[in-house]
Amino acid sequence: MRFIFHYPEVTGYDGDMLDAGQLREVAIAVERAGFDGFSLSEHPAPGARWLASGGHQTLDSFVALGFVAGATERLRLLTYLAVAPYRNPLLLAKAVATLDRLSQGRAILGLGTGYLKGEYHALGVDFEERNALFDEALDVLPLHWRGEPFSYTGRHFSARDIVARPLPVQDPIPIWIGGNSALTRRRVAARAQAWMPMSGGAQLSSTARTPALGGIAELGARMAEVRTAAEAAGRTEHVDLVYSYSGQDMQSPAVDADRHRETFAELEKIGVDWIVVSSRTGTASATFDFIDAFGSTYLNR
């Protein structure tokens, strides 16, 4: 089982985006501590009301992960997650291919449909089209990454005999899909390399417009269904399960370490491949303390 550090998010509209620590120094510390990946979220146009009720600001994930790529050597670089319908899929494919090439094959494209109507409106995207646009992106991404001529007629564009480079290093670039719905799980089984369920409880699931999951046992059962469906579709590769271990579960990594180890073992038993953790306190010193304590306690560095 592998671990990803998620760069701490700024809640509300006050404070600086880098209050949790300079990105380069945080990424270097994460790699040194023994983490396997580094992730960033995105909200390009969050509304003030959502921010005031607990929403968060973000950096541009592709620009920031490109910066992280230059500061590190082995960390996998995950968008956790990028909202596929916000972008023309050709622009999305180009950004990810560029990140993969510049990082020498370390990009992971975490995707979701998004849930903030106001953000959709601000970006000029029809919220009611989000699922159709998401599936369109899943069609276009692999065509773009092949580097060969292709044509595709989308809902709002027509690409005729185009050739897009650079070629990614990975074939394919892993696509991880987030969300709890049955539709999400069907997409994962058919077309993705991992499932990223939302584990933040009923209130967060309601805000994010996705069904709440029960406990660890239910998660394991749902993932077993996904893997069975993938096999039935003729897929032979392993489909990963990614679990977000929330800040409420772990405020200080060294506290209740045995309990956390037991939970990690239970998660691994039901098929979790990656665990995402993050410091939630928002100061640089707390971020570095968290990274150091987690590494020394759980990553056997």
Q: What is the pLDDT of residues 15-25, one digit of tens each?
A: 888 999 999 99
Using CA atoms, how far residue 283 sits from 3, 19, 131, 147, 279, in Å, is 21, 6, 37, 43, 9
pLDDT, position 280? 80
Q: What is the pLDDT of residues 24-53, one digit of tens each?
A: 999 999 999 999 999 999 999 999 999 999
Phi-psi category of residue 35: left, alpha or beta, with phi > 0 → left and psi -120 to 50 → alpha: beta
Query: How many residues in total does the chain contain?
Result: 301
**Mean pLDDT in the chain?**
93
Separation of alpha carbons 19 and 39, rounded Å: 17
- What's the pTM? 0.94
- The listed CATH number (3.20.20.30, 3.40.50.1000, 3.40.720.10, 3.70.10.10) that belongs to domain 2-298: 3.20.20.30
Residue 184: helix, strand or coil by DSSP? helix
Q: What is the pLDDT of residues 282-296, one digit of tens each?
A: 799 999 999 999 999
Whether 205 has a pLDDT exceeding 60, the answer reads no
pLDDT, position 15? 80
pLDDT, position 232? 98
Beta bridge partners of residue 240, listed in sequence order = 194
Whether 189 has a pLDDT exceeding 80, the answer reads yes
Q: What is the pLDDT of residues 237-259, one digit of tens each?
A: 999 999 999 755 677 898 999 99
Counting residues of the chain whose pLDDT is more than 90, the rounded percentage is 86
Q: Are 130 and 194 in contact (CB under 8 A)?
A: no
- Structure tokens belonging to residue 44: 């390009």
pLDDT, position 204? 47
Whether 111 has a pLDDT exceeding 90, the answer reads yes
pLDDT, position 22? 96
Separation of alpha carbons 144 and 137, rounded Å: 10
